[in-house]
Structure 1
Amino acid sequence: MDWALPFAIFAEQEVDFMRVTKKIRDEQLAILEETYRGAKPELIFRNPFELLIAVILSAQCTDKRVNVTTKRLFAKVKSPEDIVAMGLPTLENEIRDCGLFRNKAKNILAACQMLCTEFGGEVPDDFEALQRLPGVGRKTANVVMSVAFHHPAIAVDTHVFRIANRLQLATGSTPLAVEQGLMKNIPKEKWSDAHHWLIWHGRKICKARKPACDICPLAPVCPSAEPLAGQESSKGAEK
């Protein structure tokens, strides 16, 4: 998944939140669902193994770039065993066009070795087991659980973190705090879908440095929305 701003940078931004009630949060979710219904991941994969590798590669890299890399890689490897047989130097060369490729290659190779030795070459359908794999944190584990295995989960990347805080759908200075808030404020049956709604909203409209509040369908129920220029002028005239 693409990375817009590091978590710490956004957490330090001052946002003047107004009080957001459950009714407003419900309205926010309804608008998100209507706007982004059917939203799916941009990553291209055919099975849990390919999804796991793609998500590890996606750190600080766009999904489009990852798809270019994985198209080439997955033409040569079909399983963790294939990655192990490939070895580190060749793997590094295969993913060189992804950012941080050396560190990612080490993690992918180590994760595949663990999959072979401890999980019979299969990606585990278990959140805690997934987090034991090198290169797999809460976000990656939640994506795999949700997208590959269809378990309700909310993965908090920088898009989700930013939008949740701006909407006050869930507030927090860490991804974990936001994840817990979203799980509390969003019905469980909508967790996985809401994850995609928030990501797409962050990519298309509520961007990190320049949110398009003037065209945002959520502006009327967003405590962080910037007033339109015309509205600001009229307010000044009234004074």
Structure 2
Amino acid sequence: MSAPISSDAPPTPPPSADGNSPADGRGPGGARRAALAVVSVLAVVALAAAVWFGYGWGRALLVDRSAAEARDAALSGAMQAAVNLNSVDANDVDLSIENMRSSITGDALRNDLAATEEDIRARVAETGTSMSAEVLFGTLTELNTDDDLGKALVVLAVRTQTPEYFVTNKVPVLVSLRKDGDVWKAETIEPLASVEMESGPVPGAPAPDPGAQPAPDDSGAPAPGDTGAPAPGDTGAPAPEGEAGP
């Protein structure tokens, strides 16, 4: 006689509609769990990738922005120095000299300016000559942010004017830069060959004497390789390191 079946034994679950038993993990519930596990793994991988690439992108953005800001600051300093070193206001020579001084660094240019300052003042007082410069173009040719050094090419329109006449020249200059504190300043400046753009009598000026010069000397820029600042009214710009060009 066989033993009776215990009434405490769990009932056998009925097969699912698709023939799979829920207990074997192949039913709808098991499939959902497997899909959820795959999605979770993919989400973790995607998050890790986002963090990694986001960090790299953010770091590159900060580095690129810092480099761009350094380039902008260096070029701005070069252009300002080129303008200041080629400008003298006959009505405010003190301010013109101070502007020159604020744009230079290093003993060479400072000594040149100190040596020529009185000559600049005397020439302006004698001739009433003014010079003004405007940037036509500027670009950095070198930049070393580790050593705070750089070089730039700046093209100026330099107007030299007496009470009767004016001449405007296109003057390219090479500016060697050094960062002084937070400001990029000129350590040397080398003028290249200038080209006359226009000249003539000052509008509204009184008629000149017959023997008067027809216009200021037309170079409007310091001579390449010279180190002294030219006096206004000469052929050169009042840059501490260059005299008038031919």
Higher helix content, 1 or 2:
1
Instruction: Tell me if both proteins adopt one fold, taking TM over 0.5 as the criterion.
Output: no
TM-score by length of 2: 0.20
Higher strand content, 1 or 2:
2
